[in-house]
Chains A and B, each alone.
Chain A
Amino acid sequence: MRQHRTTAAVLSAICMGFGQLYNRQWIKGIILSLIGIAGLYFFITSIGGYLWGIITLGEKGNHFEMVDGMNKLVRGDHSIELMIEGLIVLLLLALYLIAYYANIKNAYNAGKQRDLGQKPNTFMKTLNYIFEVKFAQSFLTLPAIGILFFTIMPIIFMVMLAFTNYSAPNNTPPANLVDWVGFETFTSLVALKSWSHTFYGVLIWTLIWAVLATVTTYFGGMMVALLIQQKGIRFKGVWRVILIIPYAIPQLISLLVMRNLFNGQFGPINQYFKYFGLDGLPWLTDPFWAKVTVIVVNMWVGIPVSMLLIISVLTTIPKDLYEAAEVDGATGYRKFKIITLPMILFSTAPVLIAQFAGNINNFNAIFLLTNGNPVVGDYQYAGATDLLVTWLYKLTLDQERYNMASAVGIIIFLIIASFSIYNYRRSRSFKEEDMIQ
């Protein structure tokens, strides 16, 4: 018996596609060979340079060199570009190695078929196999590649940044080089007085904000929903449409409008205060009142969503529950406490947790309304209403403190991810997904 399988596998290991050619799968063999040779050529010639780049992050910044007797500025190594290019090439290498492995396995299997006296798959059969049997994996390839390069790659890059000293004013390419510094960024974030003071201050406000914002919108929404769904209220549809308006206006617009509405000097709110003979309040300029304002405005934005959600839950509560309670002589309040509230809480719990996680990251509400201001003197680039995520924005785009921003980003991620994974894992749609039908 001829050992086609070994020969094919060895040939494929030497170069992608050769095993397939040996198995007389011509079209597949040629396509794979071309990819394989191009890949080999690329990686053998250039991987060294990219590895050097990502490990050393460059050796010379912009510097002067004697050219023809004159001092000229020579462009040095751009550490960050070296880092990203190195990262992309490593990802490509990983994809290539996976493809290589699959190719050897495929040649081996086809060879095995020949050993058993069967004909290996023709090209048409292969296509059919890809689109029918392996349908899901084939369909997922395109989105997966998109996610790999536009989400995973940036995230790895960000995590890497936290371990460098990439930060204004001393380490910004192309003028200067960036170096690996290990955990230094994290230690200064939690231990260095100037940074840790800001960090803990912003972190505490973020948590307070997330709790208050979630609770106020949730129970506000519940109250409004109960109000509309009461027995005897007419034109329920009309009320609902009116109350949904804040949700329907894009936040970009409504929050910028709110910022003007609460303007301390010329805004109409303070104007009404003066009309009633009261002094206006420093809505956006005083640390305490700015916090009140963002919570209130967030209620305006967030209550309609909770309201819609809770109305949809209310309509699913069976009527006979209430009738049974009435027979037992329950009052309105008691009916609410033993039937309505538990039912609502039970079916909206996942959404509630999701909203809490969303509020920790609620960039729009803060950034558009107060921009994190008013500024707090002893904070590092943060204001009284800044959340971690808006502080992160300022650190990145305004201050160019990239390494610190990355460290903050990782911490935000850890907080949110733990909530969301807990939430998702305990949801029924994850646990019992195959039992629904």
Chain B
Amino acid sequence: MGIKLKNTIRLTLSYILLVIIAICCIYPAAWVILSSLRPGKSLYSKTFIPETFTISHYQELFTSKTFMFTTWYGNTLKIAVISMLIGTLLVLLTSYSVSRFRFKGRKNALSTILVLGMFPGFMSMIAIYILLNSLELLNTHMALIIVYAAGAPLGGTLIMKGFLDTIPRSLDEAAKIDGATNFAIFRKIILPLSKPMITYMALTLFVGPWVDFIFARLVLRTPENWTLAVGLWDLVNSQQNSNFTLFAAASVLIALPITILFVFLQRLLVDGMTAGASKG
């Protein structure tokens, strides 16, 4: 009997703790969603659940002249998708090369990739800014895409390589005996087998441009070229939170796609995180 009672107490306490933690997790999200539906502009609200609901803030997002939400959404989507595609391809190429081939300077190349990834990014911004300026790419989306895609192999190669190392090399060798070219092996064996990892890589490369407000703000000069993150940052900074409910509505719409992707792909995310470091 004693054990059973102890068990019940343990479980009850656990459930209580879990409920408290769950509330802490959900509260900020719930609060911002409810705020986005509240009439008025202020941050202050007497009650957690607003007395009346309104969708006027969402309407304002799509009609406002200064907050060009739809344009920015389009811009962001374009930049994120293109740099994701190019970036993923580059990561695949580099990681396939370093995982499957042995050549002079390979270990050094790997260490270089690791080390280069650790410089604080802002410092390179001045140099990249001047470089883009002399290429006359400032205030273009092209510039952002080039920079995001060129940076992708630095962050992704080691993780991807860790995963590719776990695909048995005997598969490649068998295909090679059958006369397959390297490119065919890459396309028919490596690509299909690394689908989960590619999804993870693509997701992280998609989210990066989606939320980058530092570099994008430096490069994109005119509001009609901005991305969502730059626009949101500007809203927070220029209006000093005087229009909090609009900010809340924009936040909800910006966060929604990413949040849904993450929740659905959560298992992949763990695999991705551990692949580079601890596997093998």
Q: Which residue of A lies closest to B124 (CB)?
A: A154
Cβ B120 vs Cβ A409 within 8 A: yes
Known: A131-B182, A140-B97, A252-B211. A147 touches B116 (CB 8 A): yes
Report chain A residues within 8 Å CB of B130: 80-81, 84
Distance, CA A134 to CA B229, complexed state (A): 42
Say what secondary structure dominates the interface of chain A: helix
Whether A206 is near chain B, meaning CB under 8 Å from some CB there, is no
Chain A: minimal CB distance from B114 (Å): 6
Whether B262 is near chain A, meaning CB under 8 Å from some CB there, is yes
Distance, CA A413 to CA B259, complexed state (A): 32
Cβ A406 vs Cβ B93 within 8 A: no
Report chain B residues within 8 Å CB of A157: 124, 126-127
Whether B118 is near chain A, meaning CB under 8 Å from some CB there, is yes
Most buried by B among A135, A153, A261: A135
Cβ B124 vs Cβ A151 within 8 A: yes
Partner of A427, one of B31, B43, B218, B277: B277
Stretch at the interface among B22-30, B53-61, B65-73, B190-198: B22-30
Partner of B123, one of A253, A406, A417: A406
Cβ B277 vs Cβ A245 within 8 A: no
Chain A: minimal CB distance from B127 (Å): 4
Cβ B28 vs Cβ A308 within 8 A: no
Q: Which residue of A lies closest to B116 (CB)?
A: A151
Against B, the Cβ 8 Å flags (1 = close, 0 = not) of A349-370 are 1110010010001000000000
Q: Which of B84-101 contact A (CB under 8 A)?
A: 90, 93-94, 96-98, 100-101
Cβ A233 vs Cβ B273 within 8 A: no
Q: Which residue of B lies closest to A389 (CB)?
A: B120
Whether B279 is near chain A, meaning CB under 8 Å from some CB there, is yes
Q: Which residue of A lies closest to B153 (CB)?
A: A143
Cβ B270 vs Cβ A227 within 8 A: no
Cβ A233 vs Cβ B103 within 8 A: no
Whether A312 is near chain B, meaning CB under 8 Å from some CB there, is yes
Partner of A350, one of B93, B125, B165, B278: B278
Whether A124 is near chain B, meaning CB under 8 Å from some CB there, is no
Known: A146-B150, A250-B211. A153 touches B244 (CB 8 A): no
Cβ B7 vs Cβ A413 within 8 A: no
Report chain B residues within 8 Å CB of A253: 32, 211, 232, 251, 254-255
Cβ A413 vs Cβ B90 within 8 A: no
Cβ B123 vs Cβ A300 within 8 A: no
Distance, CA A351 to CA B270, complexed state (A): 11
Stretch at the interface among A60-68, A175-183, A281-289, A429-437: A429-437
Cβ A351 vs Cβ B32 within 8 A: no
Most buried by A among B110, B126, B166, B170: B126
Distance, CA A392 to CA B131, complexed state (A): 21
Cβ B232 vs Cβ A245 within 8 A: no
Known: A227-B17, A242-B26, A406-B123. A139 touches B96 (CB 8 A): yes
Report chain B residues within 8 Å CB of A80: 126, 130
Chain B: minimal CB distance from A436 (Å): 5
Report chain A residues within 8 Å CB of B94: 139-140, 143
Report chain B residues within 8 Å CB of A254: 28-29, 255
Partner of A248, one of B10, B158, B258: B258
Distance, CA A19 to CA B261, complexed state (A): 57
Q: Which of B159-176 contact A (CB under 8 A)?
A: 162, 165-166, 168-170
Report chain A residues within 8 Å CB of B64: none
Cβ A248 vs Cβ B263 within 8 A: yes
Distance, CA A146 to CA B152, complexed state (A): 10
Cβ A249 vs Cβ B29 within 8 A: yes
Whether A278 is near chain B, meaning CB under 8 Å from some CB there, is no
Whether B40 is near chain A, meaning CB under 8 Å from some CB there, is no
Cβ A155 vs Cβ B119 within 8 A: yes
Partner of B280, one of A85, A250, A429: A429
Cβ A300 vs Cβ B24 within 8 A: yes
Q: What are 16 pairs between A and B in contact, CB < 8 Å? A: A135-B97, A136-B101, A140-B98, A142-B93, A147-B153, A152-B116, A227-B17, A241-B263, A244-B263, A248-B262, A252-B229, A257-B251, A389-B120, A393-B214, A417-B118, A437-B168
Sample of 16 further A-B pairs with CB below 8 A, known A258-B28, A261-B31: A146-B149, A147-B153, A150-B131, A154-B123, A154-B131, A158-B127, A233-B14, A239-B22, A243-B25, A245-B263, A266-B42, A266-B44, A421-B115, A427-B277, A428-B280, A430-B110
Q: Which 8 pairs across A and B sit closest by C-beta, in order of nearness?
A: A154-B124, A136-B101, A146-B150, A248-B262, A154-B127, A350-B277, A136-B97, A266-B44
| Residues of chain B whose beta carbon lies under 8 Å from any beta carbon of chain A | 7, 10-11, 14-15, 17-18, 21-22, 24-26, 28-29, 31-32, 42-45, 48, 90, 93-94, 96-98, 100-101, 103, 106, 109-111, 113-116, 118-120, 122-128, 130-131, 134, 146-147, 149-151, 153-154, 158, 162, 165-166, 168-170, 181-183, 207, 210-211, 213-214, 218, 229, 232-233, 236, 241, 244, 247-248, 251, 254-255, 258-260, 262-263, 266, 269-271, 273-274, 276-280
